[in-house]
A and B are shown apart, each in its own frame.
Chain A
């Protein structure tokens, strides 16, 4: 084996571990479990510190957090609702990362998707069957997000403009544009939202089982699961998915192998935007039935955390979405004892920890392993 003097540089974000040919199941498992475990551990330590600073004891706070989320049907429903949006944005960002692109524009794409869905529902006459409205509105959500994602993809392919900067800037542009359209043209007086759609709403889980009463969880959750399964299938089982991953791992080699990397970039950003846009369905079709300024509420940015902790794998992303949704819903549950802003701190710390500590822990593990082999 080749011994290097210094540890190898950490793989770039996009080169998520399952790609690396190891053939070693234990190693595979470690790669999959390390980020969430490190994240959880550091979140617990930081959480303890914050709770103690606020003069409470950690035990009761954590108990409250669990009871308020997974401990009752309403809390569980809210976790599912929040996880649904996060699953979409997390999937969107991880798809981009697989192609070697960092899509920070999920926030704007999500908003554009929700707007597209709400406007479709408004424009269609009330005579159109609700089912048809729902399908068209979903298509509009994917389309709205897709267009917003396409712009940075095309700018990168055509001009080499870095997608991180363009997506950040586009977030501001898209949100300002949507705010203007709503404020100037379609808002209900005295509010920041559009009128309610004529049809196309999706059933809530509470309509199916009364136990979920009051929670916003709705059938979009099935759409999210389908999106996760489809994304996984597309990435790992189709030619186009292979091209995308190859372009992400080694753009030059992929180009040499006959893959047109630039068109992969454009396609990847468009698909990433479309998936993020579909996330808008959860709020618009599933919950409020209108578009409201600021409904995205940071889910686009939290999606970055979801993609990171979920190791860019659809299954991992779904689990990570549940984790971060539990944190945000848990914040409301503990508010009586500790300010709910504690969970925002924890979310930031988790991202930092996964970005900084995971490569470090992995290096340490590798070093010990090399010691063992001697």
Chain B
């Protein structure tokens, strides 16, 4: 039974990573740097909590969470595609902005500086019995199919690898990137939504770096959806192990926290197979 518990907990921890990493893959494959996953997730978590609180309905919360991620995805897209602002700066600005906005509106909506009241949530009692979890598990296979087997996926990859060639063939690169970044916002927003609904409330800064772990999974997975998904599961398994070992003092928790980041640096340095970014990643045109 311990194995089943372990796998269940790993999947539950992996769900937000899977959503956000899927968003990261699609944005980066289209050529837009995805440093704002953390901000998308946090905004999604907050709007999901707002929606679920004021409607009392989980699925309204889910829709609001998607909308919250979408809003900042669009801001990211407009700033970095329409205004050709530096994508790295835009990503960091959005992360800071969302931290501030969620705190501001937390005060405004709930008169609290730390958390929302209890909201309708997933009520899975530690199990996997909720459609949102199944959607989270399906998002990577679906994304793999979209990226490699559909015309849209081909255009996304073309926009990220060779935008000039794509443009020559009649693909509107900026439009493809708009869609990709918007979808990435929605997916990461869903990841945040899952966090808020799972914990039955929004707490200040509740994403706690998960957007960056998802980014690490994208890079560690070499920008491939399936590998990124596996990286999410690996990172989640490490976290689960740390939680289950708590109290035994086998490994200090801080070292387990480092695993995703250290592996990403190792992957980037090319020690075990080189991790190469899409060729046009971060370029304005």
Contact = CB atoms under 8 A, between A and B. Distances in A.
A102 B107 CA distance: 34
B212 A339 contact: no
Contact of B108 (A12, A54, A343, A360): A54
Contacts of A37: none
Interface in A261-320: 298, 301-302, 304-305, 308
Interface in B229-276: 252, 254-255, 257-258, 261-262, 264-265, 268-270
A297 to B, nearest CB: 12
B257 A159 contact: no
Interface of A is mostly: helix
B93 A351 contact: yes
Size range of the chain A interface in the assembly: 35 or more
A183 B94 CA distance: 32
Contacts of A355: 79, 85-86, 89-90, 93
B135 interface: no
Interface in A145-179: 155, 158-162, 164-166, 168-170, 172-173, 176-177, 179
B154 interface: no
A342 interface: yes
B226 to A, nearest CB: 21
A159 B103 contact: no
B88 interface: yes
**B contact residues, range:** 35 or more
A359 interface: yes
Interface of A: 9-10, 12-13, 50, 53-54, 102, 104, 155, 158-162, 164-166, 168-170, 172-173, 176-177, 179-180, 183-184, 298, 301-302, 304-305, 308, 339, 341-349, 351-352, 355-357, 359-360
Interface of B: 33, 35, 75, 78-80, 83-86, 88-90, 92-101, 103-104, 107-108, 113, 209, 212, 215-216, 219, 252, 254-255, 257-258, 261-262, 264-265, 268-270, 277, 284-285
Given A172-B209, A184-B252, A339-B113, 13 more contacts: A170-B265, A173-B262, A179-B254, A183-B254, A301-B92, A304-B92, A305-B96, A341-B100, A341-B104, A341-B107, A345-B100, A348-B100, A355-B79
11 contacts: A54-B108, A159-B268, A161-B270, A162-B268, A173-B258, A302-B96, A339-B107, A345-B101, A347-B96, A348-B94, A355-B85
